[in-house]
Each structure stands twice: as C-alpha cells, then as structure tokens.
Chain A
Amino acid sequence: MIHSLFLINASGDIFLEKHWKSVVSRSVCDYFFEAQERATEPENVPPVIPTPHHYLISVLRHHIYFVAVIQSEVPPLFVIEFLHRVVDTFQDYFGVCTEAAIKDNVVVVYELLEEMLDNGFPLATESNILKELIKPPTILRTMVNTITGSTNVGEQLPTGQLSVVPWRRTGVKYTNNEAYFDVVEEIDAIIDKSGSTITAEIQGVIDACVKLTGMPDLTLSFMNPRLLDDVSFHPCVRFKRWEAERILSFIPPDGNFRLLSYHVSSQNLVAIPVYVKHNITFREGSSQGRFDLTLGPKQTMGKAVESVLVSSQLPRGVLNANLNPSQGTYTFDPVTKLLTWDVGKINPQKLPSLKGTMSLQAGASKPDENPTINIQFKIQQMAISGLKVNRLDMYGEKYKPFKGIKYMTKAGKFQICPYNTPFTGFSLTVLTNQIHVFR
C-alpha cells in the first residue's frame, strides 16, 4: 500500500525519507514540487497527484508536507487518515510536530514508522501500544540512556496487540484513580444584521483523561441522549450498546483520548449566547466613516461570557480607525486592515462597546461592502446544547475512582454578516453603482 514516505519542509527540502518496500528515488518528489509551484498558497497543493509510475498523496500539517508514495490503487482516504495518525503520534511523543523535533528524534521517528507499517500496511497505530513498544523520550530517560546504554525499546510484545482491547495497555497502575471528561461544544453560526440566525450548528466532543488502574469497564449515560444527531466514536465504544440503549459503554485507553464527537442537529433551535449591535457607515464624498458596536449576553443561563474577541476585516479604503473601547483593548493593523478588539468578560450590567470614527483614503470611492464581524468567546460550565451527563459507572475494578466532568461552550466559526435583506433575485444592488464606469 504505502511505499515510501517523504517529509518536506516549507522551503522545499526533503528532510526525512522512509521506505517500506524497495527504495523509491527521491526524485519522485519533483512532481510534488511542480504542483507546489503551481499552487498559490501552501494549502492549495492537491492532496492526490498522479505521476507516471507512482501516485503522491500528501497532507500538510504544522508547515510540513507528509508525502506518501503509492504504487497502485488504494483508497486515498486510507493513506490520508494514516498520515494524520502519524502526525498525531509524533505530536503525542514529542509534544510538538516540527522539523526540529523530528530531526532531534530521528531514531525514535524511524522506530515508530517501522512499527506503524509493515510492508506498507498499518500494523500498530494505537498510541497505547506504540508507547509500550517504544517509550517516548523524556529528558530524564535520555540522560539515563546515554549513561547506562539502556534503550527506549520495549522488550515485550504489548499484550494489548493480541487482545480484543488493543487500544489499552496492560498493567496500568495509579495511586490516585481519576477519570475526567470534558464536554466541549462549538457553535458555528452566521447571524444577519438584525440578529436573526441564518445558520447555526453545534458540534461537540467529549475528551477524556482516564487514569484508572487495571481494566476498568465504564458506562457513561446522558440525561438527554436524543440531542445527539450524529456521533462518531473512539473504537473502544461498543456500538450496539449505544444503538440499543444510548449508553456509552467502553474500556478506556489509558491517558488522553477523544471518546466521542457529535453533532447536534440543525433542526434543534440553537441558543445564541451573545448578540451584537453594530452600525458601520460610510458616507459618499466624506473621508470619514462611523463605527459603533455593542456586545451583550443572551441566553447564557446566567453563566459569564469570557475571553471575548471581536475581529473584523475592514474595507481596503480605510486608512485608520480612531475608536474608543468601553473595556479591553483594540488594535488596527493598517496594512492588513484587520481590526481586533480583545473584550475579555462581558458584564451584563455594563455592556462593552466600541465607538469612534474611521478615516478613509482621500478621494477613494465609498467602500462597497460592509465588513463581516467574527466573534470568539468561551462560556465555562455550560454546554449550549443542554447535553448533560447523567452518570458514570465503573465495573470490573473494586476501587472508587474520582470522577470529574467539565462543560464548556466556545464559538466556532461565529460570524455576523453585514446584510439584512434576504435574497429576492439576482438584482445585485451593489454592482449597479459601478456600471457608470463603462457608460
């Protein structure tokens, strides 16, 4: 399946190569560089590139291209998913996945890649198993190893690989047994100027950090599992149990993992936790524009809206902005025309506002477009969909673990659009004022 792997940095150097079958010359990457040149942005390089004898499938993460060389038909997603798994593993092992980290740990990287694929087919990709095979480098261990000559390589086949719970390493022991679950929801929304929602969706994940001794079997149930419209599970979750009873039943991997990602259907009404009143106007013939923006909380169930950050791409004609925030600080970058306002926490008694004027380029025509406003925020201790974990039970072990659950809501792609009127036809009012140019 996967023949070879090349790692290419942003400046186009191949800094690592690994072959699982016979060696493929690195000149095959020339086809990749060609495609790279054609693409205007690094993201625009097509993920699948055909060459006369091979196919190149690549992913771009952390400014590194991971280019896999394929010789024959294979589902492209198979390769892409695997490459992302490689990146995740590197991140897991070295904390970061940068060129420097990979170069520093080239031996561990090589050992990992060797274990992850056999003859181009994935062998061990579960982090729990890999960590038993090859111990992640730590400063202490590196020092000890250099002195004693001991190794990072495990001496035993991880028993997990043989068992039906391949994701969990065996012999786990903790003095404090804890299981933490973070329910994090993101709202993706587009709101129009009057404040009505055009689209809103909630995506959530449950990330877990489980440090439990032995082989615990957990069940997690929700008060309102019907909210979840579409879910995807970590392989440890028993599908059938979910299907029949809407209960998450699983033997967890050791450590951090994503238990579940879910989507709350767009049919459900999404509570929008903030509102924005804004008035951005430019007058024809004047070199000044007015800017007036106020934020307020809405449907937050009494929880505070924190870490609010407002950003907006002002029209190209704007030279500078002279604004007065009631709280927080704002910056305006005259080159990129990006206005950001770090609001902080919203105080419902005293709503934060940003008012002032913008100076326009002299003689330039009135900007034809109002800017879109992007908002980021966080609300602690609340899942906006109303999802609630009912209980967590543990079977299979005798001790009493500490169980913790945390809720958080964040803005995903949360956008206030400048228009109000719904579309009524292809009348393109914006464009009519330019026709005179050609008349």
Chain B
Amino acid sequence: MLCTSMTQQVEQMSSVLRNEDLKEMLESNKESLKLEAMKRIVGLIAKGKSASELFPAVVKNVASKNIELKKLVYVYLVRYAEKQQDLALLSISTFQRALKDPNQFIRASALRVLSSIRVPIIVPIMMLAIKEAAADLSPYVRKTSAHAIQKLYSLDPDQKEQLIEVIEKLLKDKSTLVAGSVVMAFEEVCPDRIDLIHKNYRKLCNLLVDVEEWGQVVIISMLTRYARTQFTSPWTENKAFYDSDSEEKKDQTEAKPYIMDPDHRLLLRNTKPLLQSRNTAVVMAVAQLYWHLAPKHEVSIVTKSLVRLLRSHREVQYIVLQNIATMSIQRKGMFEPFIKSFYVRSTDATHIKTLKLEILTNLANEANISTILREFQTYVKSQDKAFAAATIQAIGRCATNISEVTDTCLNGLVLLLSNRDETVVAESIVVIKKLLQTQPTQHGDIIKHMAKLFDNVTVPMARASILWLMGEYCEKVPKIAPDVLRKMAKTFTAEEDIVKLQTVNLAAKLYLTNSKQTKLLTQYILNLGKYDQNYDIRDRTRFIRQLIVPNEKSGALSKYARRILLAPKPAPGLESAFKDRDRYQLGTLSHSLNLKATGYQELPDWPAVAPDQSVRNVEIVEPCPCVCTESGSESEEESSEDSEKTSSDSGKSSSGSEKSSSESESDQKKKKKTKKAPQKKSKPAGDRYTEIPHCLFPQNDSKKPTFRTSGISLFYMSFQVTTSSFGPLKTYELLHHMTGKGLSAKYHFPRQPCLYQPSMVAVQVILTNSSDHALEEIHIGDQSPASLNIHCFNTIERLEPGASVTVSMGIDFSDSTQAANFQLCTKEDQFSVSIQPAVGELLMASTMTEQDFCKEQGKLQGMNEASATITMATANASRQAINKQVLSVANVGEVPSSQNNFSRFAGQTVSSRALVLVSLELSESSGALLTINTEKSVMASMLLQDLKQALAQA
C-alpha cells in the first residue's frame, strides 16, 4: 500500500517530465517510436490521466500511413478535441480528404472520427459529410452516416430538420446493415415522426430476421410503439365505438367483429422466430412486443423463452425476473406451469431471491399453495436473514390472498415466533399483526402467546406491533394487557420512539376499557410522555390526555373517545411491490427502476379507430428480367447492395446490363422492390469471396419472412446446375378450402435442387386455415402409387385460424408426368389430393458453353430429336421475351449464344439426369424452328407442345 502511494507520487511528479519525452518520441522520424508513444498515451487515457497537453504533438500524426498509429491518434483526438478546439481544426482537412477515398473502410472511419469530434464550428462540414455518406454506394458507409446523425444532433439540435431529411432517405435503404442504425437515429432525433415509418414498415418487418442482433432490439421497440398508434386493440371483441357526428358509422363499426390488420399480424409473425435468439435483449424485446401487441391468447408463447433466460447470467436474471414479476400479476396462467423454475437456490444473490419470492407469491393459488408453502418453509431457515424476513412477508401475502390457507399460515407464523433468530421473530410478529387484523375474532390465544414473547423481543417494530395488538384487542386479553402496560411503564424511557407511541396508545385504550386497574399506570405513562425528548410523543401524550381524561376544559370530543380510539379499523392490504409497475413499458429501464427515466417514451394507447391502412402500401415496380442475374437471387427485400460483387463468367452472358463494379459496390437503389425468383449458381471459387445472397425457400407471399440468407454454392454432379426462373412463380391449387373444410393448400415449384434427395423435385406447399377454428396435426397420409417416393413435411401440430404456413416437400416423379396422389390429413379429416407436374418442372437447369451444347446435341440425333416449326407471337420477337416464355414453361438454363437468331437452353431431368437441349432458330418471318434433343422422347414431345403454345401466345 505504501509502495503504491509512493509510486503514485513519483508518477505525478514525473508526469510532466515523462510527457516531455513522449513529445520527443512523437516528433521523431521513426514510426515505431511514435507508435510506442501513442500506446503509452492511450494507456494514460485509459487510466483517466490527463494527456491533453500533448495535443499539438499528437495531432500532427493524424495523416500517418501506419494504420495502427492513425487509429490511436483518432482515439486521442476524439477524447480531447473538445478541450482543444482550435488545434483540432488542424486535423479536419485530413478527414475531408479521407472522405473521398476510394476505400470504403477509410471513408467510413473518417466519417466516424469527424462526427465524433465535438467542435461546434465544424457542424456545417459534418452536415455535408453526412449527406454525402448517406448516398454512398457502400452500405457500411451509410451505416456510419446513420450513427453520425445522432452525434451531430447531440452537438447541435438546430440541425434537426436537415437531419430528418437524411433519416427519411436512409429509412428507405434496403440494406440490413443500415436498418438498425437508422432506426436508432430515428428514435433519437425524431421519434414522433411516425409518418416516416409507414412506407418502410413492411420492409422493416421483413428485414428483421436478417438485421444484426442489436439493430433488432431497436427496431422491435420502435415497431412496438408504431403498432400501438396504427392498429386497433386486439384485446376486446367488438370494441364499442362512439362517433358523435355519424350514427351510421357507429353502427357499422360496432357490427364488425375485430379483424387483425394484416400488417399487425405480419409484425407478430416476423418477430416470433427471434424468441430463439441467443441474445437475451432480443428475446426480451420480442416478449415485450407480444405482451403489448398480441391478442391475449398468443402472449403465452413467450413464456418458455423468458424462462430460458433465467439460466443466463445473474444480471440478466435480475431484469427478466422483474419483468416476469410484473407479468405474473396480470397473467398468472402464463408462468404457472413453470413454477419450479422460480424456486430459490441457496446460491442466488439476495435480489434474485427476493424477486423469485415475489413471483412465487404472485403465482400462488389454491392448487399450488401447499407446494409453495413447503418451499417457503425451507427459505425461512435460510442463513440470509433479509431473505428469510422477505419470505415471512410473502407467507403473509399468501395467507391474505388465499383464504383456505390463512389458518395454516398463521399457525406456521406463530411457530416461527419461537425461532432463534430475532429478525425472523420480529418479521413474523409484524405479519401476524396484519393477519390478525383481517380476522381477529378467534385468535385470543395467539395474542396471549405473543404477550409471553414480549420480554424476549427487542426489535422495536415487533415490540410496537405487539403493543398495538394488545391495545386493539385488550378486551380479549383482559388480564394480560394491564400487566404488559406495567412492564412498559418500567422501561418506557429506554424504548425507541415507535414503541413509546404504541405504549401511549395502549395506555389510552386500556384506560377506556379498564380504567380501574390502569388509571394510575396510564397517568404515569402520560407524565413520562409529557417530558419526552421527541415532540411527536409529547404531542401525542397531550392529545391523548385531553381526549380520555375527563376534566372541565375538555369539550364534546372526550365523549367520543372510545369511538375514536377503539373504532373498527380496516385491515391493511398486503400487495405486491410490482403492482403498479405495468404503467411502464416492459423491458425498459424505467420499468426496471420503477422510475421514469430520462427520455422514456410513454407507450401510446391503442387508437379507437385504426388510421388509414393504405399509407403502408408501396407500389411495386414490375420486375425486369435484365436486372440482375449476377447478384443471385433476391427476395423482395434483399437488395443486391448487400452483396459484394465480383463478376464471374457465368453471369456475364445472361444479361446485357451487367454492372461491373470495381470495389464491391453496385448501386441498385433505383430498382425498387424488384421481386425476383431465387437463383443459385455454382461459382468458381475466386480469390475474393463473392457473396450471393439468396433465399433458400423463396416465397411468393411477400409478407413471409425470409430465411437467413447466405452465400452457398451447391455442386451437384459434374454439371453446373443452375436454378433459375423468371417472373412470378406459378401457383397451383392443391386443395380448395371448401372441399378441405377450411384447410386450403396451394403449391408451386421453387425450382431448386431438392434438399432431401437429388432425384426429387422440390415442391412448396402453402397451407392456410380459412376456417374459424384451429386445425391440428396436419400431415401426409397414404400415398399412391405405392412406389411413389415422397419426402413429407413434418406434422404441423397446430394451425391457427387465418394463419398459413409454408412447408416443403420432395417428390420423386421418376421423370414422368404421372400425378403424385396422396392424402392430406388433419386430426379429423383426410383429403385426397394430387400434384401433377408440368413437364418443364421435371427438369433442372444446367449451364454449359455453346461448344458443349453443340457437341451434346450432336450425340442426340435421330430418335432423340423432336422438332417443329412454330409461329411466334409478334410480342415474342425479342430475345428477352423468348427467354421469359421458355423459362416460364421449363426449368432450363440459357446457353450463351454467339448467333443472334439462335436461342439455346439446356437442362437435365431431375431423376435420371438425362440431358434436355432446347434450341430455337428464328427465321425471317415470325416463324421459328424449335428443336428438342433428349433421350426421353416422351418428354421431348410434351415439352415441344408446351413450348409451342407458350411462344405462340403473347
């Protein structure tokens, strides 16, 4: 200790000296010396020591080539710029230059530092930089700009209007990288501008699964607030609505049963999977969203996940338990099945124990009270006395809440009076006092027992409680009460104030009921009280004396003394400490502290009438086939901006408008809401990783959440298999809801390699429950022909009314168009359905070069060739139109062609992997020669028919 204080002194003395040599090191020519100096300076900053006088020497190195040195200078700059504003300005030009750097990393970090320098004079420069960065091609830079918005706002709130414009722009961004940060900026700068969210609402909901976890938390809490302002309450059926100006309207609304807004449902559906997140904050955010937004019967799905969080760190437990405590008051049923999870373990920290106790008490009911009491019984014996005392309080609460066990609890508490530990005894007395008040009639014995204990109890609160009980029920213990008063008279002066007050009360009450025995004692005590040091006691004594002792001065009041002092008193309620916590939004800091925190935003109440729903509609731009075959598949909400693109040869040929992007950025913002079918492409592994986001299970229902996307290349066989399709997928009906007694099913072919077996065709089935009751155990029953190889989906345990679910199956059609028949079963019914594939769906696309194509075609002549001359519709004259038509019929891949009048497509059958080659030779007029080469001659002729038909129609 001595040693450290000495070194501290030495350090202080030498600090000036040492800073000198740091300065010298910084001014040297050697990078390594500079770096060493900066490292030491950072060490000083970390310890909280001032190094501000080195500012001029440090700031010179801001333009250093050494990245680590530069970064450390940034750290320094951000820390001290506020203090040395003039000098800090010297560094600004470096950042301005870096903002134009071709490397996105450097641009982003320049913006980060520039915006972190809290110097008001550079506000215009920051504003300009933010605006530019918000339009940057790199999503990473845009993300940084979203962070910078908040920094600028806190530096100069006057910029609000301009910043809102930038936020509005960034909210439109489709990158998952930006979403979380911009919503954070929105929450900080303009949380009331809910109108900015409308157009982006659906996009945010759909992006949510793919946003990084911290962004998810922010977005979920913002959307909770949004939903509360935009949708009507799902909690009451037929909500009464009174509209003063139109009687008619009122009737209409009243007659209409509650129907959940599809957007409201979208939010609930898309947040649900996040309950499985490893991030506890995300799980809590979803839980509070369900609590505040979901229909009552759906809230309980969050229970399991919340209980799971109880296995996490102590601090996490603390917050989660607080929230459960609030929830369990309103909804016992939610947590009752998990009651054992709230059993206290001896290793828990005290505040955790108390919270668990609170929850156990809230959950107690007639059915489980005996087990809970048994638990409490062990807790009372705990070494942790504060906890034991809290347990006794809890027993008292259970006793008042559940009348069946009041007597048992009371007896138990009386037994506790003989405990060795005084805190336990004292707490028991206090609780017994409260309990007796609720039913005093039959408890004379207990009061006597407590009187006996009186000499041994020293805790003032407990003594006071006993005295109060004696006074209140003095008629039940007529012999003991005066004796207790006698004892008190002896020790009066040595007691605590609270005990003295109760002694005076007891004396007064005894005087009124039994003045013969206690008159003298009472007067003695009143005299003692008259000269007490505490003015409360002096006041009380004076008041009591006037009230009870009749003399000529006392007025009418003393006549009523008995009625005043011995009036029947209402029993105190024993209530949960979490009773009023629900005024705060769950999961918030304010809820945790039970105190309104700075910046807390009240959760708005549901509107009586939902505002216009159409504000959330976004116009969908028609997909154009040339957009991007390169960047792989995208579902509606994934923009290709996410993907860092390097061009690969396989993609180049397929479309004319290829964007070659040098540095990972391709700006495709103009293409709003392009909805494209998925596409997987195997790629040669380049030196740089190329990200191809794609959706594993594309859905034509745009409201469905996307899968976590990822870049995968799949290799199947030696041929490169491409899965591609353009335009909207064709959906076929499998089961109509009329025939299916409410269950309807549709299917489509996602045109991707089947995951279960390569010889299977992937089929996606969308099951919808249009009935008014939940359907259970949806599964696949008997199949025919028996040899049919089907990979069934897992049984769907339960499908709520109005809900729909997409499942995937695999069917091995063995390259024939024979229908696959099977039974779709629910718990009650069975429906025979069949899937008949179009011949084009039995194929999968392959990529090959023109040479390979011609070579393979040469091998498949004669018997294996089918051809026809067809008449093309005029609309199909262009190559793109042809592609579109062919691809809509068959799952084939386009082969790059050097000849303008030739279109070639290649594919192979799914089961037997036989090649299918399609070539189309355009002649001068609208005629064309269509040739199909494959060893499957039946398929060839069928395909020929289909193609002919497709190309003939516009």
Contacts and interface: CB of A to CB of B under 8 A. Distances in A.
B416 A431 contact: yes
Given A77-B587, A153-B67, A166-B212, A215 B140 contact: no
Contact of A44 (B31, B32, B67, B350): B350
A109 interface: yes
B154 A245 contact: no
Interface of chain A, helix or strand or loop or mixed? Answer: mixed
Interface string A419-430: 000111111100
Interface residues of B, number: 138
Contacts of B242: none
Given A73-B588, A157-B140, A245-B793, A107 B276 contact: no
A263 B304 CA distance: 10
B373 A423 contact: yes
Interface stretch (A45-53, A175-183, A328-336): A45-53
Interface in A229-280: 229-246, 249, 251, 258, 261, 263, 266
B689 A438 contact: no
A286 B711 CA distance: 75
A121 interface: yes
Interface in A34-67: 39-41, 43-44, 46-48, 50, 55, 58-61
Given A16-B47, A157-B108, A48 B592 contact: yes
Contact of A50 (B112, B154, B593, B707): B593
B273 A155 contact: no
A434 interface: yes
A427 B601 CA distance: 50
Contacts of B82: 22-23
B593 A48 contact: yes
Interface string B127-148: 0000000000011100010011
B350 A107 contact: no
A58 B313 CA distance: 12
Contacts of A59: 313-315
Contacts of B177: 161-162
Given A48-B593, A74-B589, A22 B118 contact: yes
Interface in B561-610: 587-590, 592-593, 595, 597-601
A210 interface: no
A426 B411 contact: yes
Interface stretch (A78-86, A90-98, A400-408): A78-86
A306 B298 CA distance: 45
B340 A81 contact: no
B273 A44 contact: no
Contact of A239 (B118, B139, B276): B276
A208 B395 CA distance: 46
A370 interface: no
Contacts of A162: 138-140, 177, 642, 644, 664, 691
B589 A75 contact: yes
A23 B49 CA distance: 12
B579 to A, nearest CB: 20
A301 interface: no
Contacts of B702: none
B150 interface: yes
Interface stretch (A110-118, A319-327, A348-356, A378-386): A110-118
A159 interface: yes
Contact of A17 (B46, B147, B374): B46
Interface in B327-341: 340
B285 interface: yes
A230 B349 contact: no
Nearest to B323: A77
Interface in B378-393: 381
A303 interface: no
B345 interface: yes
A434 B221 CA distance: 55
Contact of A396 (B139, B148, B276, B713): B713
A119 B116 contact: yes
A219 B696 CA distance: 13
A438 B68 contact: no
Nearest to A434: B418
A322 B504 CA distance: 59
Interface in B165-195: 176-177, 181, 184
Which of A46, A170, A235, A266 lies at the interface centre, i.e. has the most chain B CB atoms within 10 A of its CB? A235
A366 to B, nearest CB: 14
B597 A72 contact: yes
Interface in B60-88: 66-69, 71-72, 74-75, 79, 82
B418 A110 contact: no
B877 to A, nearest CB: 39
A26 interface: yes
B105 interface: yes
A431 B419 contact: yes
B859 interface: no
B632 to A, nearest CB: 11
A125 interface: yes
A21 B118 CA distance: 9
Contacts of B587: 75-77
B580 to A, nearest CB: 17
Interface in A1-35: 1, 14-19, 21-23, 26
Interface in A90-140: 106-107, 109-111, 114, 118-119, 121-123, 125
B712 A215 contact: yes
Contact of A107 (B42, B305, B318): B42
Contacts of A423: 370-371, 373-374, 377
Which of B140, B184, B283, B708 has the largest count of A CB atoms less than 10 A from its CB?
B708
Contacts of A360: none
Contacts of B418: 431, 434-435, 437-438
A171 B381 CA distance: 60
Interface residues of A, number: 117
Residue of A43, A82, A107, A423 with highest tally of chain B CB at under 10 A: A107
A81 B281 contact: yes
A16 B381 CA distance: 42
B326 interface: no
Contacts of B139: 162
Given A164-B210, A230-B305, A244 B43 contact: no
A244 B691 contact: no
A283 B821 CA distance: 77
A122 B48 CA distance: 23
Contacts of A203: 311
A166 B210 CA distance: 10
16 contacts: A16-B46, A21-B154, A72-B600, A73-B589, A84-B316, A125-B213, A203-B311, A231-B276, A233-B278, A235-B212, A241-B696, A244-B807, A249-B696, A251-B710, A431-B419, A434-B420
Interface of B: 30-32, 35, 39, 42-43, 45-48, 66-69, 71-72, 74-75, 79, 82, 103-105, 108, 112, 115-116, 118, 138-140, 144, 147-148, 150-151, 154, 176-177, 181, 184, 209-210, 212-214, 217, 221, 273-274, 276-281, 283-285, 304-305, 307-308, 311, 313-316, 318-320, 340, 343, 345, 349-351, 370-371, 373-374, 377, 381, 405, 408-409, 411-412, 415-420, 452-453, 456, 587-590, 592-593, 595, 597-601, 638, 642-644, 664, 685, 688-689, 691, 693, 696-697, 705, 707-715, 755, 793-794, 806-808
Interface of A: 1, 14-19, 21-23, 26, 39-41, 43-44, 46-48, 50, 55, 58-61, 70-78, 80-84, 106-107, 109-111, 114, 118-119, 121-123, 125, 146, 149, 151-153, 155-157, 159, 161-166, 170-171, 199, 203, 214-215, 217, 219, 229-246, 249, 251, 258, 261, 263, 266, 369, 395-396, 398, 413, 422-428, 431-432, 434-435, 437-439
The 9 closest A-B pairs by CB, nearest first: A72-B599, A423-B374, A426-B412, A151-B68, A157-B105, A149-B32, A239-B273, A47-B315, A122-B214
Given A72-B600, A240-B705, A396-B713, 4 more contacts: A119-B147, A125-B214, A163-B643, A426-B411
